[in-house]
Structures are given as structure tokens and as C-alpha cells.
């Protein structure tokens, strides 16, 4: 059977080949730590839970101390790994036109405020403000594949207060880091990705980023097409507004007007009100095929005007009726003659960053990080992106070689085989690279080490209590 042959011939060698291509990224003049990178990714891809440094090391034959040092202190460049991933994506023949970048953020709940960037801030997963660590991420989507390609740790403004200097130094936060908003971090990532040669046709983002007219103007100024979600109360004009400084009224005292404002009579409308206008034309469009069948939603698009820096700006307002009566709204600088289906397609692309986030967390243990240092977060990010790239390459190869294999199509009685999931790729890798089973002696040694460490920790706490009493 072709599937069995592919599983055994490809999974193991492809993972090893990926590691060999990136091996130089983990070497210095005096030391080669690339084996630890191989083991760490192997743990991420094959383990099911509790993928912290100690457990990954335990399951892959690396001492806890060595793995901890490799991730938290070793000087290898996370950005170097990420740059090479982007360059490989750019050079992949199967990933030509049609790629989009999707900007998003994701928060992980933290137990305390001593991890780099942690603090009480909004956590989207919890839907509330809580003690969290927040990252901003760029995902790349093209066809049926998606993957993270960039990330930055968001450091709240209070982290740059003078009284935090000692903690910043302890956690290895670079001296050159300054406070940057999430939008500024997102723009920096987009620029790096562009510089590294990764081609994309548009940038998509949620309304946290999209509501910023400055951010939209920055993307437009760099000739990037965007599809940016905006809140339902965003104000737009159906006709070009006249903006200027009103003339002083004869006979009226007071100061002469100096601030620009809208001078034309037409009033602005909320985008939610535009959606309800009789002349807003809604059309049903196929969004994508799903496991439950075709997903079709209603879309509408209108040319509208917004105001930025006291100047009228014409944009597309793209609206979508989703399930449960929800309506979402986006602004786009796509050209005026952009086909309606193209606008609807772009409006749907943000779905894939959710899939990338889910793969990183549920499948690769992104949110299982238990380290405090800044470098540990960056290294964990780089290896997660690299592991996701391995998954993406496997999906691409499967689609190219086996999605239309006649024997497999006949066996499964379909015209085209479904795409592999990240879970499928991990299962194949576990089959050809099973995690080692501990011998009785190894298990006994681990238990003994655990007891020794717990005993030392308890004695240390007791001494601390005696000193304070």
C-alpha cells in the first residue's frame, strides 16, 4: 500500500533532513548544540503533554541541566532559525502565488509575574484580564497549509520602569529592547518577513490591529494589500467627505477655527448600519470545503471613505454574515476593480491563524513552556516554528505525491484525498521514531533523582522559614 511505504520511507528521513539543513544554526566556534535542537523538536512532535524542558530531555536522552542551558542560556540565534524558515518557504515551488500573512496575538496564563513579559493583561483565551504572557505572531497561509513564521514577546510598558531593571537583567531581556506596542511589534515582523524574501499577496489582521488607521496607512504606504477587521462601531462615509478648517463666521467673537473637521453635510455611519442599508448587496459565496461539507456565507462589499490625518481615504468595506447571526467587518485597500470573490476570499483568511495557533499549542506544546527567561521564550518560539515548518513540508509533499494516487483514491473511494492534519504527521513520526522506553534501572534513577530534588527543596524552604521567624 502506497500510504504505508510513504510513512516509513519519508517521515524519519524528512525530519532528519530538516535538522541537517538547520544544524549550522546551533553551532558556535567552540560547541555544537544541534543535537539538543533535534531532541527538543522530537519531543515536541512526539510527546502528548507536559512538554517542559525536563520532560523533553527525559524522553529524548538529554539531561535536564543540558536541555535547560540549551534553551535558556545558549547563545544560538532564534532569529537566525526563523529567517532560514522564511527563506525556505520562499524557495518552495508549491508555495507560489496565493500566500497571505496573518497578524495575531496569543496569551498564555502564568502563575506569577517573574517570567519575562508577564503581568496582568488581557488574555483572549480566557476572555479577561489575568496574569499572562502575551506574544504577537505572524502566520503564513497558502492553500491548504498554514504555519507560524514570526513572533515577538510583548513586554508591557511597566517592564521598562527603573525599578524593573534588575529583573530585566536577571531574565536576559536585551538592553536594546524598548517599549513597543503590539502594532509596532507586528509591523517590525512584517518588515523582517518581507526583507527575508517571503512572498505574500496580502496581510490580514483582527480588529485590535485593524482599527488603527495609522497601521492601515503604514501598510498601504508600503504597497501591502490588507484585509483588516474593524469593530462594528467604526465610522465610514458613503460619499467623499470634505475635510478642512471652517471659515470664521462674520460677526462672531472668539478664536479663529484652527482644527480640521468634516465640512460636508453627509454624516458618517457605523459599519454595522451600512450592513443594514437596503442598497447593500449581499451574495452567498463558498468559503471552503470542510469535513462537514461546504461552508457558504453571505458577503457584501462597498466602497467607503474613512479619515486619516485629516485626509479622506477610500477603502473597501467588506462584510460577512457568519454562523449564529454574527456579522464581521473589514477594511481593505485592494484596488477598486478587485473581483467580489477575491474580497470574500481575503476576508476568510484569518481563520488560518487560528489553525496555526491551535497546532502550536495543542499539537506542539507551545503553551506548556515553564521557563522564565526571555531567551528561553525566543528559543522555544524558534523551535516551534521549525517544527511547524516540518509539519507543513510533510503536508505539501503528501499533497503533491499522494493526494491523487490512483490506488489510494480507489481504496478510499474519493476523487481527491483530504489533506494531512498536524495530528496525522505526528502519528506517522511516532510510528517511525517511537519514544524510547525506560529500562528499570533508568526509571529507578529518575525516581531517586526526583526524591533527592524534592527533599533538598523542602529543606531549603524550611531553612528560609526558620530565618524569618
Query: Each residue of 329-362: pLDDT tens digit?
Result: 999 999 999 999 999 999 999 999 999 999 999 9
Which pLDDT value is given to residue 95? Answer: 85
More confident residue, 397 or 38: 38
C-alpha 2 chain-centroid distance: 34
Quick one: pLDDT at residue 2? 47
Query: By mean pLDDT, which of 188-192, 198-202, 290-294, 317-321 is the weakest?
Result: 290-294
Final residue of a structural domain among 318, 349, 380: 349
256 within a domain of the structure (yes/no): no
The pLDDT confidence band at residue 94, using thresholds 50, 70 and 90, is: confident
Q: Which residues pair with 202 in a beta bridge?
A: 100
Q: Which three cell numbers stand for residue 71?
A: 534553551
What pLDDT does residue 200 have? Answer: 96
Percent of the chain with pLDDT over 70: 83
- The arithmetic mean of pLDDT across residues 397-418, rounded, is 66
Inside any domain, residue 32? yes
Does a structural domain hold residue 252?
Answer: no
| pLDDT at residue 406, as a whole number | 65
Over range 286-308, report the average pLDDT.
83
In the predicted model, what is the mean pLDDT of residues 147-169?
A: 97
pTM confidence score: 0.88
**Do 160 and 275 share a structural domain?**
no
pLDDT above 90: residue 32: yes
Quote the percentage of the chain above a pLDDT of 90: 67
Residue 86 lies in a domain: yes
pLDDT (mean) for 24-28: 92
- Same-domain status, 41 and 77: yes
- Work out how many domains the chain is built from and give that number: 3
Q: Three-state secondary structure along 321-371?
A: ECHHHCEEEEEECCCCCCCHHHHHHHHCCCHHHHHHHHHHHHHCCHHHCCC
d(CA 261, CA 127): 37
> Do 38 and 153 belong together in one domain?
yes
Residue-wise burial string across 224-258, b where 16 or more C-beta atoms lie within 10 A, e elsewhere = bbbbbbbeeebebbbeebebeeeeeeeeeeeeeee
pLDDT value at position 464? 57
Range of the domain at 454: 440-469
Could you tell me if residue 66 is inside a domain? yes
Instruction: Check whether residue 196 and residue 132 sit in a common domain.
Output: yes
Q: Do 324 and 391 belong to one domain?
A: no
Residue that terminates a domain, selected from 349, 370, 393: 349
- Residue 254 lies inside a defined structural domain of this protein: no
Average pLDDT over residues 126-146: 93
Nearest to 69 by CA among 450, 290, 344, 371: 371
Asked if pLDDT for residue 293 goes beyond 60, the answer is no
Q: Which three cell numbers stand for residue 351?
A: 481563520
Instruction: Indicate whether 63 and 164 sit together in one domain.
Output: yes
Q: CA 375 to CA 75: how far, in whole Å? A: 9
**Residues 357-375: b if buried by 16+ CB within 10 A, e if exposed:** bebbbebbbbbbbebbbbb
Confidence (pLDDT) at 257: 66
Provide the pairing of β-strand 100-109 with 202-205: parallel
Instruction: Tell me, yes or no, whether 329 and 360 share the same domain.
Output: no
pLDDT the model gives residue 1? 42
Element (H, E) at 70: helix 64-72
Per the structure block, which three cell numbers stand in for 79?
Answer: 532569529
- What phi-psi label fits residue 143: left (phi over 0), alpha (psi between -120 and 50 degrees) or beta? left
d(Cα 102, Cα 208) in Å, to the nearest integer? 13
The answer to whether residues 234 and 179 belong to one domain is no
pLDDT of residue 288: 74
The answer to whether residue 250 scores a pLDDT higher than 90 is: no
Give the DSSP letter of residue 302: E
Q: Report yes or no on 270 lying in a domain.
A: yes
Claim to verify: residue 379 and residue 327 sit in the same structural domain: no
Once rounded to an integer, what is the mean pLDDT over residues 111-133? 91
CB atoms within 10 A of CB 186: 27
Average pLDDT taken over every residue of the chain: 88
Residues 367 and 403 in one domain: yes
Contact indicator for 240, 305 with CB cutoff of 8 Å: yes
Residues 112 and 174 placed together within one structural domain of the fold: yes
The number of C-alpha atoms within 13 Å of 65 and in the hemisphere containing its C-beta is: 2
Instruction: Return all residues near 153 (Cβ < 8 A) that are at least 6 apart.
Output: 116, 117, 133, 134, 135, 374, 377, 378, 381
- At residue 342, the pLDDT reads 96
Nearest to 302 by CA among 275, 264, 265: 275
The predicted pLDDT at position 8 comes to: 46
- For residue 303, the model assigns a pLDDT of 98
pLDDT at 364 over 70: yes
Domain boundary (321, 349, 377) is at: 349
Q: What average pLDDT score do residues 142-158 get? A: 95
- Whether residue 127 is found in the same domain as residue 172: yes
Range 252-266 average pLDDT: 70
Residue 255 lies in a domain: no
Which residue in the block uniquely carries the three cell numbers 524534592? Answer: 454
Amino acid at each position: 500500500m502506497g500510504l504505508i511505504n510513504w510513512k516509513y520511507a519519508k517521515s524519519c528521513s524528512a525530519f532528519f533532513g530538516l535538522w541537517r539543513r538547520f544544524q549550522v544554526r546551533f553551532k558556535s566556534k567552540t560547541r555544537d548544540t544541534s543535537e539538543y535542537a533535534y531532541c527538543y523538536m522530537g519531543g515536541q512532535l512526539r510527546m502528548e503533554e507536559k512538554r517542559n524542558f525536563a520532560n523533553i530531555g527525559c524522553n529524548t536522552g538529554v539531561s535536564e541541566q543540558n536541555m535547560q542551558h540549551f534553551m535558556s542560556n545558549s547563545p544560538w540565534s532564534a532569529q537566525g532559525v526563523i529567517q532560514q524558515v522564511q527563506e525556505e518557504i520562499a524557495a518552495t515551488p508549491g508555495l507560489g502565488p496565493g500566500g497571505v500573512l496573518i497578524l495575531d496575538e496569543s496569551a498564555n496564563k502564568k502563575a506569577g509575574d517573574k517570567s519575562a513579559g508577564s503581568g496582568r493583561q488581557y488574555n483572549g483565551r480566557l476572555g479577561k484580564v489575568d496574569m499572562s504572557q502575551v506574544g504577537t505572531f505572524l502566520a503564513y497561509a497558502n492553500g491548504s497549509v498554514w504555519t507560524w513564521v514570526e513572533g515577538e514577546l510583548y513586554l508591557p510598558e511597566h517592564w521598562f520602569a527603573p525599578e524593573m531593571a534588575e529583573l530585566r537583567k536577571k531574565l536576559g531581556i536585551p538592553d536594546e529592547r524598548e517599549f513597543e506596542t503590539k502594532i509596532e511589534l507586528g509591523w517590525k515582523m512584517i518588515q523582517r518577513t518581507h526583507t527575508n524574501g517571503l512572498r505574500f499577496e496580502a496581510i490580514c489582521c483582527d480588529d485590535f490591529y485593524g482599527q488603527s488607521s495609522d497601521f492601515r496607512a503604514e501598510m498601504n504606504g508600503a504597497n501591502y494589500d490588507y484585509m483588516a477587521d474593524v469593530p462594528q462601531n467604526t465610522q465610514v462615509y458613503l460619499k467623499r467627505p470634505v475635510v478642512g478648517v471652517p471659515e470664521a463666521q462674520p460677526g462672531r467673537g472668539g478664536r479663529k477655527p484652527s482644527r480640521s473637521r468634516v465640512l460636508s453635510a453627509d454624516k458618517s455611519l457605523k459599519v454595522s448600519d451600512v450592513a443594514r442599508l437596503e442598497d447593500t448587496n449581499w451574495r452567498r459565496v463558498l468559503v471552503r470545503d470542510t469535513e462537514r461539507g461546504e461552508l457558504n456565507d453571505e458577503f457584501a462589499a462597498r466602497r467607503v471613505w474613512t479619515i486619516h490625518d485629516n485626509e479622506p481615504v477610500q477603502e473597501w468595506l467588506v462584510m460577512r454574515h457568519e454562523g449564529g447571526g454574527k456579522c464581521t467587518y473589514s477594511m481593505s485597500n485592494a484596488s477598486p476593480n478587485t473581483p467580489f470573490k477575491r474580497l470574500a476570499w481575503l476576508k476568510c483568511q484569518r481563520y488560518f491563524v487560528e489553525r496555526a495557533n491551535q497546532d502550536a499549542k495543542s499539537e506542539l506544546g507551545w503553551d506548556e513552556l515553564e521557563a522564565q527567561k526571555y531567551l528561553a521564550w525566543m528559543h522555544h518560539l524558534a523551535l516551534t516554528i521549525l517544527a511547524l515548518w516540518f509539519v507543513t513540508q510533510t503536508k505539501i509533499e503528501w499533497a503533491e505525491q499522494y493526494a491523487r494516487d490512483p490506488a489510494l483514491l480507489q481504496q478510499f473511494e474519493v476523487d481527491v484525498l483530504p489533506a494531512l492534519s498536524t495530528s496525522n504527521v505526528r502519528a506517522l513520526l511516532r510510528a517511525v521514531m517511537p519514544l524510547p522506553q525506560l529500562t528499570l534501572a533508568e526509571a529507578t534513577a529518575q525516581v531517586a533523582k526526583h526524591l533527592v530534588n524534592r527533599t533538598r527543596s523542602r529543606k531549603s524552604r524550611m531553612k528560609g522559614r526558620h530565618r524569618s521567624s
